[in-house]
Structure 1
Amino acid sequence: MKLNVSLGVIGVSVLLGVLKMSELLDKAKNYVVEKVTNMPKPEASVTDVDFKGVSREGVDYLAKVSVSNPYSTPIPICEIKYSFKSAGREIASGTIPDPGSLKGSDTTMLDVQVKVPHSILLSLARDIGADWDIDYQLDLSLIIDLPVIGDFTIPLSQKGEIKLPTFSDMWA
């Protein structure tokens, strides 16, 4: 009889110890989540989207992206994904693998080249209309590798108008 009571007391003590350990782990987890949430993170913005050139394959546009790094060490950029839309449909998309890294405690300018095939531009004739421009939406995902956190995606979106090249632009 005494043996059963002793094992019951030990079982309750172990159960209470496990509950206290669980509470301690929950507090530690909440502390880490709060600290990570409040950490400064890199911020980005699209500063310009403009005509770059014409080739046999299509028309090239260049998006300039400004990314600020709040940390003193460089941060590697894993990849940049982009989607270029006009008239409600995607006209170009792609991925730029390993485009470099962000300078420590500085702002880095990234160039994202978008190539739109000529055949797609011809199918957008209604949107181009009399003003000879394309209404566009550029969606970018900058995927960077933050220490401790891991891969972190900065989503960007830019809407605007781009003038199509004229003959003088092509031969200038």
Structure 2
Amino acid sequence: MSQLLDKAKNFVTEKINDMAKPEASVTDVDFKRVSKDSMEYLAKVSVRNPYSTPIPICEINYSFKSASSIAHKDAVFFCVDGEREIASGRIPDPGSLKAKDTTMVDVPVRVPYSILMSLAKDIGADWDIDYQLDLGLVIDLPVIGNFTIPLSYKGELKLPTLSTMFA
């Protein structure tokens, strides 16, 4: 009897592993606005739902890490420093994924000014922040339950100038 149960578990596990799952990618991270205590950036995430029914997004978790830059006479080398997290957060219940379609999900990331000032060494060289954005989209799949789509995106954010802030 236990062998039959094990075979049934293995069969279901194989079918679930072979089943199409939603896929996501970060398409852009850009400056959004300035507030009295922080700068807000907006990450645009494209999520493809292969199912014929809408899927709820339970939450989005994010971690925004700065990168260190090491200047050299001929080149600039970047290495992500995992201990320099400059922002993190959780967005509960951000909506649903459209059925058999691609949904754009906006993820606002707020970076306090106090953190930006501590990054002055990196910012001073080229007025940008080299970063890594780690996202976890938690979706509720029927039968399977909560499923996390992990994403990681590296890039460079130009800091806004006075003209872009007040334009």
**Could you tell me the TM-score, scaled by structure 1's length?**
0.87
Q: Runs of 4+ in structure 1 displaced over 4 angstroms?
A: none
Task: Give the partner amino acid of 1:93.
Answer: S
Paired residues, what number? 152
Query: Structure 2, unaligned stretches of length 5 or more?
Result: 68-80
Aligned to 1:144: 139
Q: Which has the higher relative contact order, 1 or 2, with Cα contacts under 8 A spaced 6 or more apart? A: 2
Aligned equivalent of 1:3: none
Computing the radius of gyration from Cα coordinates, the structure with the larger value is: 1
Give how far 1:141 is off: 0.3
The reply on whether 1:169 has 2:164 as its aligned counterpart is: yes
CA distance in 2, matches of 1:60, 1:152: 28
Residue 158 (structure 1) aligned with residue 158 (structure 2): no
> CA offsets per residue over residues 22-68 of structure 1, 9 Å max, x none?
22111111110110110000000000000011110110100000000
Show CA shifts across 1:5-33 (max 9, x none). xxxxxxxxxxxxxxxx2221111111101
User: Which residue type is aligned with residue 142 of structure 2?
Assistant: P
CA offsets 1:103-129 (integer angstroms, 9 cap, x no match): 000000000000101111011011112
Identify the residue that residue 31 of structure 1 maps to in structure 2.
11
Q: Which amino acid aligns with 1:47?
A: T
Unmatched segments (≥5 aa) in structure 1: 1-20
Match runs of 1:21-170 below 5 Å: 21-87=1-67, 88=81, 89-170=84-165
1-structure distance, mates of 2:134, 2:6 = 38
**Larger fraction in helix:** 1
CA RMSD across the alignment: 0.7
Instruction: Name the SS of the counterpart of 2:14 in structure 1.
Output: helix
SS at match of 2:40: strand
Q: In 2, distance between residues paired with 1:61 and 1:96? A: 14
Normalising to structure 2: TM-score of the pair? Answer: 0.89
Identity of aligned residues (%): 78
Q: Which has the higher strand share?
A: 2
